[in-house]
Chains A and B, each alone.
Chain A
């Protein structure tokens, strides 16, 4: 199966990292990244929902 075309779609000349469990740096990287985007999303959603509720109350 000739697949070089797939690699040209988005060039991702991947280099296999040595397989090791999550290091302290890995934990920090994962928790900070996932935590930041989750909190930001939750905060924005809360602000938007509160704003929509206020608007509805204002109309009534």
Chain B
């Protein structure tokens, strides 16, 4: 098992795949909203600090751990942890890196279907019909007003696109790593960047579309997005800003999901990972800052003004505000469909990466052929996505999984991986392993960063996150207030949400089932090779 059965065809291929995994809806919808909300200048300082201290180091750690595990014949996070740590409990620790993407993909595929559906509806002219109520359309389309209402299969419903997206993902996964994922990303990523640049050019040349509102022009829109606000130093003292910036970097780079571990495990022992890791991260940053930061919020501001943009969540900005914006601009139908195709490409390259760890686990745990593992995945996805799709009122099931798994889980996994890199394996051995075949020598100060600063920073941010989102602290020592947050109130509040409770039960059931599968897999792995003496 020393040679992987599958491999990337080139460095560029794996970089496209990892970048494709990282570039998602958050780049074009979440980042611009946060940057505008906290004032461009201060937010970007915190953002780049977080990128240097968390994003790139954790990414390198995942690449290193993944490639090393792959050298021992493992491609899933439980297998990689088992191989490197050589302890009975190690595979259960690694199970987080298999269960998180499995649960995340259940709702991500549903959101991906919205993007494709919106692209088709935009092209058909439905989204630019006069008198269109975009909020009502979104609520009906996604089922956000009533449970089960989205389970329909017309062109104006989500159902047809859920099926198409599921089949497309499964087909590409069936084709394998190089002929499926790599090929899709090789075409998808450049097309995404070209579409982004075309839409960016359109937005920057809008001028002042409504002469009656001269203050809504390109320069003011960019000012709304990038002006630093009242005081940079005062803004930087706000812990919420650091939390938002670090969270955005973390989620945007898809670190902590176990994806990079799986992708890197298909590399050869001497394939470069330092330059590849940095290149994938930089591709994501380009799409996020240079494209996402210049398109979404400025476009919305030009047509709707500050009041139309402020306070909008990710989905509201993307699926309610922007369709209205595109409908207001010349040839908006084309640009709307191009934008939603862009979102769809970003989503499909991400969903492939989220699904691959499950395929890798099923195949190496139970020696399944590709067709069988894909069939099992289809069954799991039908149940999981079906659950999110049916319990769609207020998008409660989606939101609950996103919070407890997509946020809390990835922080945990990221912390575990960086501690594994810097402390369990040891920084010296990890550093040497990272530089095996390296095309880029990482500056020495990153040794200190990856051993001390990244874990500390990550644990601090995770603690702040829990204090903010779970405990509900107002970050005041003088007058501390702890209010029950929505996610807690949904479970144990005076009026709990049955769907939120059911969703948490579903998450627990999936995790328990996953742990049983990992235990069964562990029996097979006893006879397989493991890394020698990696525990001090």
Q: Which A residues lie at the B interface, using CB under 8 A?
A: 1, 3, 5-23, 25-30, 32-34, 36-38, 40-41, 43-45, 47-49, 51-52, 55
Q: Which residues of B contact A51 (CB under 8 A)?
A: 11, 272, 275, 439
Which of these binds chain A: B39-47, B59-67, B408-416?
B39-47
A14 contacts B33, C-beta separation under 8 Å = yes
Contact yes or no, B228 A47, CB < 8 A: no
**Does the CB pair A22–B222 fall under 8 Å?**
yes
28 contacts across the A-B interface (CB closer than 8 A): A7-B312, A8-B313, A12-B37, A12-B311, A13-B37, A13-B311, A14-B309, A15-B37, A16-B310, A17-B36, A19-B223, A20-B223, A20-B227, A21-B222, A21-B223, A25-B41, A30-B40, A30-B226, A34-B290, A34-B294, A37-B285, A40-B285, A40-B286, A41-B285, A48-B275, A49-B12, A51-B11, A51-B275
Pair B139/A1 contact, Cβ less than 8 Å: yes
Complexed CA–CA distance, A43 and B321 (Å):
35
The reply on B316 being an interface residue by CB < 8 A is yes
Given contacts A5-B395, A34-B290, A17 and B306 within 8 Å (CB-CB): yes
Q: Is the CB of B293 within 8 A of A34?
A: yes
The answer to the question of B233 belonging to the interface, with a C-beta cut-off of 8 Å to chain A, is no
Residues of A within 8 A of B272 (CB): 51
Is chain A's interface secondary structure helix, strand, loop, or mixed overall? Answer: helix
In the complex, the chain A residue whose C-beta lies closest to that of B319 is A6
B282 beta carbon closer than 8 Å to chain A: yes
Decide yes or no: A12 and B33 within 8 Å by CB, A6-B313, A17-B227 being known contacts. Answer: yes
| Chain B interface size, under 10 / 10 to 19 / 20 to 34 / 35 or more | 35 or more
On chain A, the residues within 8 Å of B439 by CB distance are: 47-48, 51
Task: Evaluate contact between A30 and B222: CB separation under 8 angstroms.
Answer: yes
> A1: which B residues are within 8 A, CB to CB?
133, 135-136, 139
> Given that A7-B313, A19-B215, A41-B285 are contacting pairs, would A52 and B399 also be in contact in the complex, using a CB cutoff of 8 Å?
no
Chain B residues, CB < 8 A from A32: 44
B212 at the A interface (CB under 8 A): no
Q: Does B10 contact A (CB under 8 A)?
A: yes
Chain A residues with CB under 8 Å of B390's CB are none
Write the nearest CB–CB distance from B316 to chain A, whole angstroms: 4
Q: Does chain A have a CB within 8 A of B229?
A: yes
B33/A23 in contact, CB under 8 A: no
Question: Which residues of A lie under 8 Å from residue B512 when comparing CB positions?
Answer: none
Q: Is B96 an interface residue (CB 8 A)?
A: no
Cα distance, A36 to B286, chains bound together (Å):
9
Contacts of B229 in A (CB 8 A): 17
- Smallest Cβ distance from B25 to chain A, in angstroms? 10
Q: Does B504 contact A (CB under 8 A)?
A: no
B278 at the interface (CB under 8 A from A): yes
On whether the beta carbons of B11 and A48 are closer than 8 Å, the reply is yes
Known: A5-B144, A17-B229, A33-B44. A22 touches B223 (CB 8 A): yes
Chain A nearest CB, measured from B236 CB (Å): 13
Other than the known A19-B216, A28-B41, what 20 A-B pairs have Cβ atoms closer than 8 Å? A6-B315, A9-B316, A10-B33, A10-B314, A14-B33, A14-B37, A15-B37, A19-B223, A21-B222, A22-B226, A25-B228, A26-B227, A27-B226, A32-B44, A33-B226, A41-B279, A41-B286, A43-B282, A45-B279, A51-B439
How far apart are A42's CB and chain B's nearest CB, in angstroms? 9
B128 within 8 A of A: no
Whether B358 is near chain A, meaning CB under 8 Å from some CB there, is: no
Q: Out of A6, A10, A38, A52, which one reaches B11, CB within 8 Å?
A: A52
In the assembled complex, the CB of B239 is this many whole angstroms from the nearest CB of chain A, namely: 14
Report the Cα distance A48→B364, complex, angstroms. 31
Say how far B320's CB is from chain A's closest CB, in angstroms.
Answer: 8
Please report the C-alpha to C-alpha distance between residue A1 and residue B134 in the assembled complex, in whole angstroms. 10
Q: How far is the CA of A56 from the CA of B149 in the complex (A)?
A: 54
Q: With a CB–CB cut-off of 8 A, which chain A residues contact B37?
A: 12-15
- 7 smallest CB-CB distances across A and B, nearest first, come from A14-B310, A44-B279, A26-B227, A5-B394, A14-B311, A16-B306, A16-B310
